[in-house]
Amino acid sequence: METVADTEEGRSPAASAPPELVVEVVILSVRGADLVVLLTPAHDGLHALPQTVPRVGETLDQTAASQVQRLTRHADAYVRQLYTWGEPAGSGNGRALQVSYIALSPAEDPEGQPAGVGDCRWWSVEKPPPLVPRHERTLRQAREYLEERLPHTHLAWSLLPDPFTLSELQVVYEVVQRRALDKRNFRKWLLSSGLVEPTGRLRCEGAHRPARLYRFTTREPRPLD
Amino acid sequence: METVADTEEGRSPAASAPPELVVEVVILSVRGADLVVLLTPAHDGLHALPQTVPRVGETLDQTAASQVQRLTRHADAYVRQLYTWGEPAGSGNGRALQVSYIALSPAEDPEGQPAGVGDCRWWSVEKPPPLVPRHERTLRQAREYLEERLPHTHLAWSLLPDPFTLSELQVVYEVVQRRALDKRNFRKWLLSSGLVEPTGRLRCEGAHRPARLYRFTTREPRPLD
DNA sequence: GCAAAAGTGTTGACTATACACCCATGT
DNA sequence: ACATGGGTGTATAGTCAACACTTTTGC
């Protein structure tokens, strides 16, 4: 590792104390008409994002992915790095590093719905419990990430189990974008994008016409611009 | 720091050796018709991104910003975090953390053009010298970041000194997007966006009609969607 | 007067939006 | 028969892309 141009201004790399390193995950999902996030109780009645210390021999991405899998019991969630905070630690000359990730997962497992694993629970993003201060900004970042990207890249597949109805998918878009969408225009846009295809099957649930079921044609996140 | 749900699966935080931490910066600029990046010679004839170890008491963002300022001699460059790579170090159970940043800076200082500070030099992003492998991907990430965001948020201000002509600004967009733009449509779009305003002054340079000079109405990066 | 870059509008294609009714089912 | 959510088309406004000539200067 070259440390370039460090001799000027008297930088002294060796003076840095070993950083503490933590991986935090913002796991988001859509339940009914709510965007929800998985939180765990922490000190002083506050809640926190699930976090973990990376194991020896695994990358940060692996740490995040395995934690998401453990907490959601869902194998192919969408997991992406958000940001790294690296502030001087309060005490002494240490450094606290927090690497945050966003993950998107369908709200329900195929069978039933474990409301969370261990002490984690789903909370509405609109009215979350008091959070550890650091995690407020991380949650905000995750939300901005999602709002910004969902319309431009078909991230929605990761928030819905296959197969789904177009109304379910529309709800996902409405919840994330926090606005109502026109049903006809939404369907026109979606079908012309070629990202979904009908399975040919129907779902009957309730006193109304059954809904056609669809699936995504690809599971790779693809930009739509 | 709470380490949540770590007791399952026998995670042992204490087993992690102290990570090595480095901040790398991809400093991009536009010179003539080229997108250029600041590189420094490294081992084995390879080149590397400028990198530095954060000083005690400063945040990662501060580390990146001060390095950019030192290398470009430009005070208000655009600097944003790109990604953090955290791989198990080759030897033993350590961990190598690289936090990368992208920075955008005007190619020339008002007076002249220091081609780089210390052993750094500008290289074309199209045909760069052989790079340290890790930095290939970082450079690619930086480029994708810029290509994706430049059209949607007026980042271009950070690549041009004030004041500028509309032709100069058009070249910036063309270089970043790697395609020719129509002059009339570009001007229509730009002027209707309200992001630039004429200064009223002209610049005469060469055997042709003088160009009007413009400035940005704001220096805060603002989305255009 | 000529070379070289600056500056300027119109048209057609496409995209996005607004909007209201019938359909299939369960009760 | 009625309540419930599923499903469908058209007309308009706005946005985006293509395109060519005149202006002002230095030499």
pLDDT in tens, B121-130: 999 999 999 9
pLDDT band of residue A4 (cuts 50, 70, 90) is: very low
If DSSP states are collapsed to H, E and C, what string results for A136-156? HHHHHHHHHHHHHHCCCECHH
Measured between beta carbons, which residues in chain B are less than 8 angstroms from residue A53?
3, 6, 11, 13, 16
- The token pair that represents A7 in the structure block: 């001799």
Question: Is-contact B7 B83, C-beta < 8 A?
Answer: no
Q: What does the pLDDT read at residue B12?
A: 43
β-pairing, A19-31 vs A121-124, is unpaired
Tell me the longest C-alpha to C-alpha distance in chain B: 75
Best CA proximity match to A195, nearest among A224, A158, A175: A224
pLDDT band of residue A10 (cuts 50, 70, 90) is: very low
Cβ–Cβ of B17/A56 closer than 8 Å? Answer: yes
- The token pair that represents A153 in the structure block: 């890249």
pLDDT digit string (tens) for A97-112?
Answer: 999 999 999 976 544 3
Best CA proximity match to B171, nearest among B163, B183, B158: B183
Q: How far apart are CA A14 and CA A11, in angstroms?
A: 9
Q: What does the pLDDT read at residue B160?
A: 94
CA→C1' distance for A166 and C27 (Å):
25
pLDDT digit string (tens) for B93-128?
Answer: 778 999 999 999 997 654 434 555 678 999 999 999
CA→C1' distance for A188 and C18 (Å):
14
Q: Which of A2, A93, A119 to mutate to test the interface with B (most CBs of B within 10 A)?
A: A2
Cβ within 8 Å of A, B 31-50: 40, 42-43, 48, 50
pLDDT digit string (tens) for A15-67?
Answer: 445 568 999 999 999 999 999 999 999 999 999 999 999 999 999 999 999 99
Q: How far apart are CA A15 and CA B55, in angstroms?
A: 8
Bases of chain C below 7 A from a protein C-beta are 3-10, 16-20, 23-27
As a whole number, the mean pLDDT across chain A is: 88
Bases of chain D below 7 A from a protein C-beta are 3-10, 16-20, 23-27
What are φ and ψ of residue B167, in 5° steps? -65, -40
In this complex, the residue of A40, A56, A83 whose CB is nearest that of residue B16 is A56
Question: Is-contact A31 B79, C-beta < 8 A?
Answer: no
Mean pLDDT in residue range B46-72: 95
Q: What is the per-residue DSSP string for A27-78?
A: EEEEETTEEEEEEEE-GGG-EE--EEPPPTT--HHHHHHHHHHHHH--TT-E
Q: How far apart are CA B76 and CA B66, in angstroms?
A: 10
Q: Which chain B residue lies closest to A149 (C-alpha atoms)?
A: B148
Q: Which residue has its C-alpha nearest to nucleotide C22's C1'?
A: A209
